[in-house]
A and B are shown apart, each in its own frame.
Chain A
Amino acid sequence: MQNIIEQIDQVAKTYPDRICYDYLGSTHTYQELKTKSDALSNYLKQTLPKEGPVIVYGGQKFDVLVTFLAVVKAGHAYIPVDVNSSLDRLKVIAEIAKPAACLALETLPEIDLDLLVMEQAALKAQMNNTKAVADVSTYVSNQDIFYIIFTSGTTGQPKGVQISHDNLLSFITWMNQTFPKAFSQTSLSQAPYSFDLSVMDLYPTLVNGGKLAVLPKDVTANFKDLFSWLPQLKLNTWVSTPSFADICLINPDFNAQKLPDLNYFLFCGEELTHATAQKLKTRFPSAKIYNTYGPTEATVAVTQVEITQDILDAYPRLPIGICKDDAQIVLLDDDGKDVALGQTGEIVIVGGGVSKGYLNNPLKTRQTFLTYQGRPAYKTGDLGRFDAKGQLLYAGRKDFQIKLHGYRIELEDVDQCLSRVSFVNKAAAVPKYDQNHKVSQLIAYVKAENHHFTSNFQLTQAIKQELKAVMMPYMMPNRFVYVDELPLTPNGKVNRKLLLKEVNGDA
């Protein structure tokens, strides 16, 4: 494959009548995808300024996919902005990106974006101009930027990760080699397009002539709809966050008998827990389950490992796998030197797939992007170590690293140890800082399992007793706070920032 867009065109020529997009029974063919994106790209070339990325505003709809392709055929990068985004986010992205235009496939909120806006009706009319022919010479290729995805930006300004054609090609080539049969049939398309997990199903499926089966947010939000649609999609390949699989697992009918065509599960976006993977393996014994890992800055994912029963038996915390061929993972210490084999260091991704940096943000780009032995590299802020078998093990976030009495402690390590205690359902460790910004105490927030103790004191004693067996003494929390539920982020992870505020106030 030389060019991703030409490859998708080629699929349309070879299999014009094949269905590429199935939105709850409303289907579209590859021919339609090509004809409409050709037509719109022609119009965009005539009307858009020559330079600048293009915001595409919309949900998980066929017209949005057509517009993505039309934009890259016209030689521009696209910026997907989800219809559920806040007004502020849209504004901030427009300010940072200085786009050539905003193509609105849904009604835009009433704001003055101070830029060229094309509305849905006009765009649709242009898509249906069947006389237009695409011009391959303007297609995004090589080092040209293909898409720009903005990070969620938990603090301050969001950052626009620029992914080039060759970054994306590196990712797709690896996907094709690793999962040769997974994307030529029917793939789940559940993640919104503004989340780079969606790229994991979108492009591998399109270059292989497969079908994208869309599960939009309003269906997944209502379990009755979700569980009535799931069997109808006849999925072969599942791509989602582990959290979405957790939602589906509450239905006992989410199993191989009811979904017999489902052969592949690919997970990315957050840690795949042992519990989730084991449940899935039990429900779908012959399906292949893969854990993958990677930041948006290195194009979706760069490592993978099949979670077999052997892996489940050998690893209480699942590995994130082996790096793809055209990239390399190095683990660096705080001074930027390689750590010794088996030691924990910051995961730095080198080579194929690594973005050239954040759009219009040289400062943040310099902080996390570097050159390592002549190749582009990205410092993830994640910690990892390699085990004897060469598997990369995730070891938490660098920013959740604390020092207590001189000892270096990973808060997520403490969480892991806590979660192994029989009386603990879920737990999170939170540091309490003194006036000098040093950690004075480690506090464990615990959601306990049902127990027979008559006081919290007794429960704490029993937990500590079990903890002694699995953790270093210096990691032992000083205080235990029992809660009925831990606060979660919108992504379903424990909201440690909220707990930090509770413990330390806003300072």
Chain B
Amino acid sequence: MQTTILDILEDLTASDEVRNNLDLNLFETGLLDSMATVQLLLELQSQCGIEVPVSEFDRSAWDTPNKIIKQVERLS
């Protein structure tokens, strides 16, 4: 699961930094924006089979690779 998520993130951000530092803030660093977040959610849906309730999507709970992994584990 973790590998899949990091693969998705690496593709979206075009940066391998997401693997090296799992506590990297993806929004503050400009690696993710709203459009990329939409892509992320669609990829998580198709590759990990999880539905993220977007109306509950609080950016601060999804802003590092570690937090995203935790969220996906919680939702799967």
Q: Residues of A at under 8 Å CB distance from B?
A: 220-224, 227-228, 243, 246-247, 250-251, 253, 450, 483-485, 487-488, 490, 492
| Given known A485-B12, A488-B35, contact A222–B59 (CB-CB < 8 A) | yes
Instruction: Indicate if B1 sits at the interface (CB-CB under 8 A).
Output: no
| Given known A246-B38, A250-B38, A250-B41, contact A223–B54 (CB-CB < 8 A) | yes
Question: Would you list 18 pairs from A and B whose C-beta atoms are within 8 A, ordered by A residue?
Answer: A221-B27, A221-B33, A221-B59, A222-B57, A223-B34, A223-B55, A223-B58, A223-B59, A224-B57, A224-B58, A224-B59, A227-B57, A246-B35, A247-B34, A247-B38, A250-B38, A485-B39, A490-B33
Residues of A with C-beta under 8 A to B54: 223, 227, 250-251
Report, nearest first, the 5 A-B pairs whose CB atoms are least far apart.
A223-B57, A485-B11, A492-B35, A484-B11, A227-B55
Bound Cα distance A251, B42 (Å): 11
Bound Cα distance A202, B61 (Å): 34
User: By the criterion of a CB under 8 Å from any partner CB, how many residues of chain B are at the interface?
Assistant: 24
Residues of A with C-beta under 8 A to B35: 243, 246-247, 488, 492
| Partner among B12, B37, B42 whose Cβ is within 8 Å of the Cβ of A223 | B37
Bound Cα distance A368, B60 (Å): 46
| Partner among A221, A227, A251, A450 whose Cβ is within 8 Å of the Cβ of B34 | A221
Instruction: Indicate if B7 sits at the interface (CB-CB under 8 A).
Output: yes
Instruction: Indicate if B48 sits at the interface (CB-CB under 8 A).
Output: no
Q: Residues of B at under 8 Å CB distance from A?
A: 7-8, 11-12, 14, 27, 33-39, 41-43, 46, 54-60
| Partner among B7, B27, B37 whose Cβ is within 8 Å of the Cβ of A484 | B7
Residues of B with C-beta under 8 A to A223: 34, 37, 54-55, 57-59
Bound Cα distance A487, B15 (Å): 12
Verify A228–B36 contact, CB threshold 8 A.
Answer: no
Q: How many Å from the CB of A491 to the closest CB on chain B?
A: 8
| Partner among A220, A224, A243 whose Cβ is within 8 Å of the Cβ of B56 | A224
Bound Cα distance A224, B41 (Å): 14
Which of chain B's residues has its CB closest to A253's CB?
B55
Residues of A with C-beta under 8 A to B58: 222-224
Residues of B with C-beta under 8 A to A227: 54-55, 57
A227-B55, A228-B55, A484-B8 provided; 20 other pairs, C-beta below 8 A?
A: A220-B34, A221-B27, A222-B57, A222-B58, A222-B60, A223-B54, A224-B55, A224-B56, A224-B57, A224-B58, A224-B59, A246-B38, A247-B34, A250-B38, A450-B46, A483-B11, A484-B7, A485-B43, A487-B14, A488-B35
Residues of B with C-beta under 8 A to A450: 46
Residues of B with C-beta under 8 A to A228: 55
Residues of A with C-beta under 8 A to B27: 221
Residues of A with C-beta under 8 A to B7: 484
Q: How many Å from the CB of B25 to the closest CB on chain A?
A: 13
Bound Cα distance A485, B46 (Å): 13
Bound Cα distance A68, B8 (Å): 44
| Given known A487-B14, A488-B36, A490-B33, contact A250–B42 (CB-CB < 8 A) | yes
Bound Cα distance A194, B72 (Å): 37
Q: How many Å from the CB of A13 to the closest CB on chain B?
A: 40
Q: How many Å from the CB of B5 to the closest CB on chain A?
A: 13
| Given known A487-B14, A492-B35, contact A251–B55 (CB-CB < 8 A) | yes
Q: How many Å from the CB of B26 to the closest CB on chain A?
A: 12
Bound Cα distance A450, B57 (Å): 27
Residues of B with C-beta under 8 A to A222: 57-60
Residues of A with C-beta under 8 A to B34: 220-221, 223, 247
Residues of A with C-beta under 8 A to B12: 485
Which of A246, A450, A492 counts the most chain B CB atoms within 10 A? A492
Q: How many Å from the CB of B18 to the closest CB on chain A?
A: 13
Q: How many Å from the CB of B58 to the closest CB on chain A?
A: 4
Which of A222, A223, A228, A484 counts the most chain B CB atoms within 10 A? A223
Which of chain A's residues has its CB closest to B46's CB?
A450
Bound Cα distance A227, B34 (Å): 13
Residues of B with C-beta under 8 A to A250: 38, 41-42, 54
Q: How many Å from the CB of B55 to the closest CB on chain A?
A: 4
Bound Cα distance A485, B42 (Å): 12
Bound Cα distance A222, B60 (Å): 9
Residues of B with C-beta under 8 A to A485: 11-12, 39, 43
Q: How many Å from the CB of B27 to the closest CB on chain A?
A: 8
